[in-house]
Amino acid sequence: MTSADQPVVYLDVQDNGVAVVRIHRPEVKNALNAQVREALAEHFRALARRRDVRAIVLTGGTQFFVAGADIKEFASASAMDMYRRHTEYLWEAISRCPKPVIAAVNGFALGGGCELAMHCDLIVAGESARFAQPEVKLGLMPGAGGTQRLIRAVGKFQAMRIALTGCMVTAAEALAIGMLSEVVSDDQTLPRALELAAHIAALPPLAVEQIKEVMLAGADLPLDSALMLERKAFQLLFDSKDQKEGAAAFFEKRTPQYRGE
């Protein structure tokens, strides 16, 4: 098999309900091209349908997560070229995945790499990780959620600073401004993400999926509407077998066995 024939995204589904999706284009620091985006979308669409998968870890290499978009693919593109690509449908496969997605970020997460991490639900970063939206330095702007997800995560003033200057943000700074879930030593990034994923995967999947859905949908609703959405989802879960199992296990002082039913 030649390097051109090798997968650019690898998938490993573990016995504990955790799937690991790993981007592998080390020769270009995992730069996102059409092939990578399409492979990611294909994997995430398939994982969304698998009942044996309850949590997903998305990662890159030990030296870089994703160093950005592959500039060769758009350097001379026209507006219509970019429009016809409809890459938003590929990104939506990740953002709309009902399973919790944890990004394990080591090294650079720049441009599209930073946006990719922000498509996830939790971000675990190594101490040496670096984040940036440097598109402005190419006469562009973030185009895959970088302005909108960033401002929702860290607020107007930090988001403006990052997007308008293209500055590099350290892992410690990113954690301080609310951009990350955790920062760990570089050698613990993937193990910690896998630990979190395994913990979530052991919980009742219907409740986990409802929590994710309601939190994401409610964030853009008026508070009264979001609270109503929360109540309805809360009430709905009382019809699940997992809720009854959880209550029974609590009273019987045993470990519950959740089946996603």
DSSP output for the chain? --GGGS-SEEEEE-TTSEEEEEE--GGGTT-B-HHHHHHHHHHHHHHHH-TT--EEEEE--SSEEE--B-GGGTTT--HHHHHHH-THHHHHHHHT-SS-EEEEE-SEEETHHHHHHHTSSEEEEETT-EEE-GGGGGT----SSHHHHHHHHH-HHHHHHHHHH---EEHHHHHHTTS-SEEE-GGGHHHHHHHHHHHHHTS-HHHHHHHHHHHHHHTTS-HHHHHHHHHHHHHHGGGSHHHHHHHHHHHHTS-------
Question: pLDDT digits over 30-49, tens only?
Answer: 999 999 999 999 999 999 99
The average pLDDT across 2-15 equals 81
Does the active-site annotation cover 213?
no
**Catalytic entry in 39, 69, 93, 233:** 69
**Catalytic entry in 60, 117, 135, 144:** 135
**Catalytic entry in 17, 39, 104, 115:** 115
Domains of the chain: 3-201 (3.90.226.10), 205-252 (1.10.12.10)
Does the active-site annotation cover 92?
no
Average pLDDT of the chain is 93
Does the active-site annotation cover 69?
yes
Does the active-site annotation cover 135?
yes
Which of the four pLDDT bands, split at 50, 70 and 90, describes residue 6? confident
**Catalytic entry in 17, 60, 111, 112:** 112
The average pLDDT across 22-32 equals 93
The average pLDDT across 146-156 equals 95
